[in-house]
Amino acid sequence: GESLDCDTMRYVCLFQLVRGINIINFMSVTSGRSDFLSAQCRPHFIPALPQSRFAARFNSWLARMQYLACIGEIKADVALYMPMRDVWAGSESAEADFFALGKRLEEHGVYFDVTDDDYICTADITDGKLGVGGYRAIFVTDCEYMKEETVRKLKDFEHSGGAVFGCGFDDATDGNMAKYSLADTEDGNIRVMKCASGSEDVYLFFNEGYFAVNTTVKINTARRYVYIADAYRGVLTRADSAVTHNFAPGAELVLIATDCLYPCAEPCVRGALLCTAEPTDCTVTERYSFEHGAWVRRDVNEKVPTDSWADGLSGTAVYGARFECESGVPLIVDICGANGGCSLVFNGERVGERIMAPFEFEIEPRLVKDINALEISVSNTGANALCKADFSEYPPNVKGTYHDRTLEFERISVGTENKENIKIKVYAKE
């Protein structure tokens, strides 16, 4: 529903990108901008909503991510056998085992395609590789109705130098899975995909978990250079084959291994924590409401408590804060507890905006003084406004099929929107 924010969209997009779906089409199209048509099939993207100001930023990030996911070809050395005959026979255990084995492969950093009897039975075997996919290993779940022809073909594949694991073949142990891992991630929630071309390899890492993860990812490459591709800023920075990275929930890391020397930006690396600060004041600057079938935006100037400003409110609030540190040094300012979208004015100069976690900002040395003043602008979604709206004037045929269920999601989401106290953490920049 209208609770959709950029962090959620990032999660949905990366969930697909890391599995090889590299063209994403937004399917939610507004039926109209007046009366209830503007809210009938939510979420939608119209200028009258607070999140619309972040659309260009998000679209630029997604365009770069899709480009990176299209470099070269996705190379999967492993295929996972789908026991379709067992599934059609009503075997719930075969279906569950299939998904469980696929999850274990993903947790070990193994990228795989899905195969079936038809592919295996018609595939050629050449130099220990199966079919046009060139698979070096097939993982098979326990099943009862695999075709005899499939079993014979898998045995031929094994005799030719290929590997088959599970269901009467070698055991699908963690060690056997690790042989085909694309990278060492040290965390089972990190998914990985590799795109290979003649001159460079692109590795996409994605934190599929719902919590932040600080971990080291390591790729095995013979390429001369490794870069981090920052799709949000649109820059490359130099890196090593092992990178320690703090993954926000649903966030990504892209490494490019290449023999080409590219111009680079300065890396943004956190140093020591210098200080923390809390907002001294909070002012709501705009409110959104849904009235008589239309979105209404009002400019306001309301002083509110610094905690839970978004109780029942869709709109934007500006926090004021101050902290002391040594002047003339580069900093990284992390706005903890923000969500939705966040922009920062540092000592009177706008330094940028962040639309997805982490809400970190690089501060140039020239801006840093002994005492520093911050203005932190935070916007949430239209969910609060819809939860408070009166829909009694609309008959069921106008509200449409999805309204009631969508409103349930929106009511759940407002329980978490900007409910954390904002805290500012200031780090040295290495």
Per residue in 263-275, pLDDT (tens digit) is 999 888 889 999 9
- Does the pLDDT at position 345 exceed 90? yes
Q: With CA atoms as reference, report the closest residue to 361 among 324, 335, 392.
A: 335
What is the average pLDDT across 180-204? 93
Instruction: Find all residues with CB under 8 Å of 417, minimum gap 6, and list them.
Output: 3, 310, 339, 340, 380, 381, 383, 384
What is the average pLDDT across 116-123? 96
What is the percent of the chain where pLDDT is above 70?
96
Please, which pLDDT band fits residue 69 given cuts at 50, 70 and 90? Answer: very high
Higher pLDDT, 51 or 188: 188
Please count the other Cβ atoms lying within 10 Å of the Cβ belonging to residue 184.
18
Sheet architecture: strand order including 112-115: 112-115, 78-81, 137-139, 163-165
Instruction: Return mean pLDDT, the chain.
Output: 91
Higher pLDDT, 403 or 155: 155
Sheet architecture: strand order including 235-239: 73-74, 190-196, 200-207, 252-258, 225-230, 235-239
pLDDT tens sequence across 28-61: 666 666 666 666 778 877 777 878 888 899 999 9
Please give the span between the terminal C-alpha atoms of the chain, in angstroms, as a whole number.
41
- Does the pLDDT at position 330 exceed 70? yes
Please, which pLDDT band fits residue 286 given cuts at 50, 70 and 90? Answer: very high
- Does the pLDDT at position 419 exceed 60? no
Number of H helices and number of E strands within the chain?
Answer: 10, 25
* Lowest-confidence segment of 149-153, 160-164, 278-282, 400-404 by average pLDDT: 400-404
pTM for this model (two decimals):
0.91
- Here the contacts of 352-359 (C-beta below 8 Å, separation 24 or greater) are 353/54, 353/57, 355/6, 355/54, 355/57, 355/58, 356/6, 356/7, 356/10, 356/58, 356/61, 356/232, 356/248, 356/251, 357/7, 357/248, 357/249, 357/251, 358/246, 358/248, 358/251, 358/334, 359/334, 359/335
What is the average pLDDT across 92-109? 94
